[in-house]
Amino acid sequence: MVISMLGDLNGKTVADIGAGSGYFAFRLTPKAEKVIGIDIDPGFISFLDSMKVRLPESYRNRFESRLAKPDDPMLGPGEADAVIIVNTYAYIDNRTQYLKTLYKGIASRGRLLIVDFKKNDIPVGPPDHFRITLNDVRRELVSAGFKVVQVDLESLDYQYIIIAEKE
Ligand SMILES: C[S@@+](CC[C@H](N)C(=O)[O-])C[C@H]1O[C@@H](n2cnc3c(N)ncnc32)[C@H](O)[C@@H]1O
């Protein structure tokens, strides 16, 4: 359901920031032209590379892992048509500045989808200091120049989904 919210990915480059073990990245790979699994942890980059070789040959080469920096996702100018950040946004420091850097790496009209944990007394997920409210995410997106196009608090019990667009 989350992936379908990105729309048709045919011919598109998708970046998964905080890809971790690749739950989303490897589900995106059959659908997109290219998927960049981005993480700051070299251990996860090695893990992603070890999983890549197990992908079907027909789309294995669409996946690329990328070691990034905590303050820079290391995308080239306009490189990604769509970006997802799942259960990772709250771990990023100086988020508005990070989003401004990320903005440059997204193509015109490209989409950014963020999923993160709701804050109030949800029994699942990280401790409270690693949770950020939907309103704070929205404010930071707007400060960085994005236009918020969709907000979904209902589809997932424990997380919200917010989609923004580069104008
Ligand atoms: C809780 S995991 C989420 C993994 C995956 N997105 C998922 O939902 O299964 C958070 C991941 O974000 C990565 N991470 C933390 N800070 C980051 C940053 N500034 N840039 C990129 N990745 C980051 C961590 O190394 C970790 O792999």
Q: What is the pLDDT of residues 77-114, one digit of tens each?
A: 999 999 999 999 999 999 999 999 999 999 999 999 99
Q: Residue 17: CB within 6 Å of ligand 1?
A: yes
Q: Span 18-43, mean pLDDT? A: 98
Mean pLDDT for all residues in the chain: 96
Using CA atoms, how far residue 29 sits from 20, 52, 93, 124, 164, in Å, is 15, 10, 28, 28, 22
Domains of the chain in start order, with CATH, are 3-165 (3.40.50.150)
The rounded Å distance from CA 145 to ligand 1 centre is 23
**CA atoms of 70 and 31, how far apart (whole Å):** 28
Confidence of residue 136 (pLDDT cuts 50, 70, 90): very high
Report pLDDT for 93.
96
pTM (two decimals): 0.97
User: In the sheet where 34-39 sits, what is the strand order?
Assistant: 63-67, 34-39, 13-17, 80-86, 106-117, 159-165, 147-152
CA of 12 to the centre of ligand 1 (A): 22
Residue 24 has pLDDT above 80, yes or no: yes
